[in-house]
C-alpha cells in the first residue's frame, strides 16, 4: 500500500501558492482513489500559517521543516528539507507543484532516495489499485499514462489542471522535523529578487483572456507605413484594461533579433506555439496573427478562440478559431479600448 506525501514550500509571506494548493488536490484525489494515507510536508522560514491553511484537508499528519535557512529558494537546503520530510512521512509517492523551486530540487530528492521522478503531470488517478500519472510529450501531441514500481515515486503537477484545495483552515498540529543547517547547505545565498512590478507583468496565467499579438501589428498598413507606436498603445491599453495575459507569435518576438521595429514589452517568454508556450486560458483573442499551424498548436488548451484579421482566408478561417472577425485590428482594438473606458 502506498503512502502519499504532498510537499510544498511556503511563499515569502508564509502562505502557500495557488499552484501548490492545486497539487494538494491532485495528491488528495490520488490518495482517495488508492485508499492510501495522505500526509503533508511543508518547509520555509515559518510553516505555521501554511499548515493552518491546509488544516482541514484530511491529512493524517503535517510535518514541517522551519527556519530562516529554509525560507530561501536554494537547492541544497530545499533538497535537505524535502528529503527529511519524505523520510518522516515514510512516503512512497511524493506529489508537489511543478514551480521552478520544486522542479529544481525534487529530482535531487528522488536521486538521493533511490526513487524516480516524473514532471509536468496533468492527471493523477488510481486504477486497479495502482497510481497512474498522465503527462504530455512532444509539446502535448502525445499523452502518456505512466505507472512505476520504483519508490519513492516523485511527481510534479502542472498548474491550472486541478482546482486549488480550499479545505477549511484551522489550528494545525505540525510535527517539527529537524534538519541541521550546515555550511554546505547555506553556501548559496539569495541577495535580491529582481522581478517586474506586478502591473508591468503581462504574462498572467490566471487571467480569463489570452490576448495574442501577431507580426501584422508592425507591418505596413493601408496608408503604406507601419504604426508601431499606435500598436504598442492599443495592445498595452487593452491588456491593462481587460487584465488579460499577453501572448505573441514567433514572427513578432523574433523581429527584435532581426533589428526591425518591435514592441519592446515582448520577449520570447510571450511566444505561444510549437516552440513557445501552451497557455490554458478560458478564452483567447488573436490579433494581426495569421493563425499558422505552428502557432495554433500552442492554443490547444484555450477554451474559446477568436481572431481579428484582414485576411478572410487566414489560418484562423480554416477551422482554427470559433469566430473570425475580418477587420482592421487597429480599428477594432481602438473601439474596444474606448468601450472599456
Ligand X SMILES: Cc1cc2nc3c(=O)[nH]c(=O)nc-3n(C[C@H](O)[C@H](O)[C@H](O)COP(=O)(O)OP(=O)(O)OC[C@H]3O[C@@H](n4cnc5c(N)ncnc54)[C@H](O)[C@@H]3O)c2cc1C
Contact residues: ligand X, CB under 6 A: 214-216, 219, 221, 249-252, 271-276, 288-290, 292, 294-295, 298, 308-311, 314, 328-330
Among candidates 240, 244, 245, 251, which has minimal Cα distance to 218? 251
Of 156 and 271, the one with the shorter C-beta distance to ligand X is: 271
**Smallest distance from the beta carbon of 96 to ligand X, in angstroms?**
28
Of 108 and 325, the one with the shorter C-beta distance to ligand X is: 325
Residue pair 288/214 in contact (Cβ under 8 Å)? The answer is: yes
Q: Is 21 exposed, middle or buried (0-12, 13-18, 19+ CB in 10 A)?
A: buried
Give how far Cα 201 sits from Cα of 191, 193, 231, 236, Å.
22, 15, 18, 11
Q: Which residue has the cell 510536508?
A: 41
Of 235 and 272, the one with the shorter C-beta distance to ligand X is: 272
Edge-to-edge strand ranges of the sheet holding 323-326: 245-248, 209-213, 283-287, 304-309, 323-326
Among candidates 185, 243, 239, 249, which has minimal Cα distance to 213? 249
Q: Which residue(s) pair with 9 in the sheet?
A: 43
Omega into 152 within 30° of 0, i.e. cis? yes
**Smallest distance from the beta carbon of 290 to ligand X, in angstroms?**
3
Q: Is 195 exposed, middle or buried (0-12, 13-18, 19+ CB in 10 A)?
A: exposed
Of 207 and 215, the one with the shorter C-beta distance to ligand X is: 215
Of 230 and 322, the one with the shorter C-beta distance to ligand X is: 230
Between CA 202 and CA 243 the distance in angstroms is 9
Between CA 97 and CA 100 the distance in angstroms is 9
**Smallest distance from the beta carbon of 44 to ligand X, in angstroms?**
36
Of 64 and 284, the one with the shorter C-beta distance to ligand X is: 284
Which one-letter DSSP state was computed for residue 322? S
Which one-letter DSSP state was computed for residue 219? S
Of 9 and 270, the one with the shorter C-beta distance to ligand X is: 270
**Smallest distance from the beta carbon of 226 to ligand X, in angstroms?**
9
Of 25 and 249, the one with the shorter C-beta distance to ligand X is: 249
**Smallest distance from the beta carbon of 300 to ligand X, in angstroms?**
12
**Smallest distance from the beta carbon of 250 to ligand X, in angstroms?**
3
**Smallest distance from the beta carbon of 251 to ligand X, in angstroms?**
3
**Smallest distance from the beta carbon of 294 to ligand X, in angstroms?**
3
Amino acid at each position: 500500500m502506498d503512502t502519499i506525501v504532498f510537499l510544498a514550500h511556503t511563499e515569502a509571506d508564509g502562505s502557500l501558492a495557488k499552484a501548490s494548493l492545486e497539487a494538494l488536490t491532485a495528491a488528495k484525489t490520488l490518495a482517495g482513489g488508492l485508499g492510501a494515507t495522505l500526509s503533508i510536508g511543508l518547509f520555509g522560514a515559518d510553516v505555521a500559517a501554511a499548515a493552518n491553511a491546509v488544516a482541514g484537508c484530511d491529512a493524517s499528519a503535517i510535518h514541517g521543516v522551519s527556519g530562516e535557512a529554509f525560507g530561501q529558494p536554494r537547492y541544497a537546503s530545499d533538497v535537505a528539507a524535502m528529503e527529511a520530510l519524505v523520510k518522516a512521512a515514510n512516503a512512497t509517492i511524493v506529489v508537489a507543484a511543478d514551480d521552478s523551486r520544486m522542479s529544481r530540487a525534487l529530482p535531487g530528492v528522488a536521486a538521493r532516495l533511490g526513487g524516480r521522478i516524473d514532471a509536468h503531470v496533468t492527471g493523477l488517478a488510481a486504477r486497479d489499485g495502482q497510481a497512474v500519472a498522465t503527462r504530455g510529450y512532444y509539446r502535448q501531441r502525445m499523452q502518456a499514462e505512466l505507472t512505476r514500481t520504483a519508490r519513492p515515486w516523485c511527481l510534479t503537477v502542472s498548474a491550472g489542471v486541478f482546482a486549488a484545495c480550499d479545505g477549511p483552515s484551522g489550528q494545525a498540529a505540525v510535527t517539527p522535523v529537524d534538519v541541521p543547517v550546515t555550511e554546505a547547505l547555506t553556501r548559496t545565498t539569495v541577495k535580491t529578487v529582481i522581478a517586474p512590478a506586478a502591473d508591468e507583468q503581462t504574462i498572467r496565467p490566471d487571467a480569463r483572456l489570452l490576448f495574442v499579438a501577431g507580426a501584422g501589428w508592425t507591418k505596413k498598413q493601408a496608408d503604406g507605413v507601419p504604426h508601431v507606436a499606435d500598436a504598442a498603445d492599443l495592445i498595452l491599453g487593452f491588456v491593462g484594461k481587460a487584465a488579460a495575459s499577453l501572448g505573441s507569435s514567433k514572427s513578432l518576438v523574433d523581429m527584435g533579433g532581426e533589428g526591425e521595429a518591435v514592441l519592446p514589452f515582448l520577449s520570447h517568454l510571450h511566444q505561444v506555439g510549437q516552440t513557445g508556450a501552451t497557455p490554458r486560458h478560458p478564452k483567447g483573442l488573436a490579433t494581426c496573427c495569421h493563425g499558422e499551424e505552428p502557432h495554433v498548436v500552442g492554443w490547444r488548451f484555450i477554451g474559446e478562440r477568436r481572431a481579428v484579421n484582414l485576411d478572410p482566408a487566414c489560418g484562423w478561417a480554416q477551422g482554427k478559431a470559433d469566430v473570425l472577425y475580418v477587420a482592421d485590428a487597429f480599428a477594432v482594438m481602438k473601439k474596444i479600448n474606448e468601450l472599456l473606458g
